[in-house]
Structure 1
Amino acid sequence: MKKLVLSAILSLSSFGVAQAFEAEDYLHLHSCSYEDLEQCAEAQLNECMYAAEGYDLHFQAHRASCAHAFSEQADVVLNDFYQLVLLKTKIIERELGDTAYIGQEKLLRNSQRAWLEVRDTTCELNVLYGAIYRGYDTAVVGCLGRMTVRRVADLQNEIGSYLD
C-alpha cells in the first residue's frame, strides 16, 4: 500500500505544479488611455472572465477575483486621473486670478463626493435586482469597477479638454 501511494505521489509530481489563477495576469487598466478607457477596460475584464471560466472547477472564485482586481485597478486609475485634474485645476485657478473660474476646485471635490455616493448606492441597488444569480460580493464589486471606469470617461469627456 505504501508503494502504491508513493508511486501515485511521484507520478503526480511529474506533471508539475499548476499555476494559480491570477486575475492581474489579464487586467492592466493602467495601460489603457483615458480616451478609450471604457472599451479597453471592458475588453480586459471580459478576457479575465473568459479565462476564469476555462481555468478549473473554481471558476466562480476566479470570476470574483477578476471583479475585485478590476475594481481595485479602476480605483487606482480614477484616483490618478482625479489627482491630475485637481492639480491642473489649481494651476488654472492660480493663473486666472479673480475670474469666474475661481471655485472650480471646490466644485470638483463636491462633484466627486456626490458621485461616490451615487456609485455606492447604485451598486447596492444593482445587487438587489441582479445578484441573486451572480453572487452578492461579485455583483457589487463588478458594478463599482464599471461605474468607476465610467466616471473617468465622463470626467475626460466633460472637462478633460479644458485642462489640456
Structure 2
Amino acid sequence: MRKLLLVCVVLGLPGVSAAFEAQENISLDACDGLSIGPELDCVQSAIASCEELGNASDATTPELSACSGAALAHSDKRLNATYKTLLSAARKNSDSENSEMARSETVLRSAQRHWIEYRDAMCDVRVIWGAINSGRSGAVFNCQTLLTIQQIHVLEREVGSYVR
C-alpha cells in the first residue's frame, strides 16, 4: 500500500490527496460498540457525510471511494483485533487434553478464511447485479465494510462470550 501511494504521489495521480482527506473527514469511532443495527446505520451515515464533503469540493469518483475505503480500513482493523483476541484464546485451548478444544485454533482460522472468501464474493455479486460501473470500488468497499462489521458482531456473540 505504501509503495502504491508513493507511486501515485510521484506520478501525480488523482485521488491520493483525497484518501488522506477522506481519513480526516470520516469519523467512525462513535460507531464502535453500538449494537449491530445502529452501528451499520452510523457507519453508512459517516460514509455519506464524507462523500457530501467530497461532492462539495468536486471530488472525483475515486476520491469519493476513499470514504468507503477509510470505513473499510477502520472496520477491518477492529475485526483483526477481535480475531487476534479469539485466536489467542484458541491457542490456549490447543494445550487442552480435550481433542475438540485442541482443534479450536485450526477451526477458527479456517472459518475466518472462508468468511473472507464469502465476503469478497458476495460483494462482487452485489456490484455485478447492481450493474455498478462508475464507483465500483466504493460500492465494493461499502459492502465489505458492512459485512465486516457484521462479522465482528458474529465473532463477539458466537465465540467471544467463551473467552471473557
> What TM bracket, shorter-length normalisation?
0.7 to 0.9
Contact 1:38 1:150 in 2 (8 A): no
Q: Which runs of 5+ in 2 are unaligned?
A: 1-17
- What does residue 15 of structure 2 align with? none
Superposed counterparts of 1:39-58, under 5 Å: 39-40=38-39, 42-54=41-53, 55-58=56-59
Contact 1:38 1:149 in 2 (8 A): no
CA distance in 2, matches of 1:51, 1:159: 33
Residue by residue over 1:74-127, the C-alpha shift from the partner in whole angstroms, topping out at 9 and shown as x without a partner, is: 111111110111001222443x43353120111101101111111111111011
- What does residue 82 of structure 2 align with? 81
- In the alignment, residue 86 of structure 1 is paired with which amino acid? L
Is 1:146 aligned with 2:141?
no
CA distance in 2, matches of 1:131, 1:65: 20
- What does residue 15 of structure 1 align with? none
Contact 1:74 1:145 in 2 (8 A): yes
Contact 1:78 1:149 in 2 (8 A): yes
Superposed counterparts of 1:24-63, under 5 Å: 24-25=23-24, 26-29=26-29, 32-33=32-33, 36=35, 39-40=38-39, 42-54=41-53, 55-58=56-59, 60-63=61-64
- In the alignment, residue 68 of structure 1 is paired with which amino acid? G
- In the alignment, residue 130 of structure 2 is paired with which amino acid? G
Contact 2:23 2:70 in 1 (8 A): yes
The structure having more radius of gyration, on CA atoms, is: 1
Question: Does the C-alpha gap of structure 1 residues 44 and 52 become closer, same or farther in structure 2, counting only changes over 3 Å?
Answer: same
Q: Which region of structure 1 is more displaced relative to structure 2, 55-64 or 102-111?
A: 55-64
Question: Does the C-alpha gap of structure 1 residues 41 and 62 become closer, same or farther in structure 2, counting only changes over 3 Å?
Answer: farther
Shift, 1:133, TM fit = 6.8
Shift, 1:30, TM fit = 8.8
- In the alignment, residue 136 of structure 1 is paired with which amino acid? R
Is 1:123 aligned with 2:133?
no
TM-score by length of 2: 0.73
Identity %: 25
- What does residue 6 of structure 1 align with? none
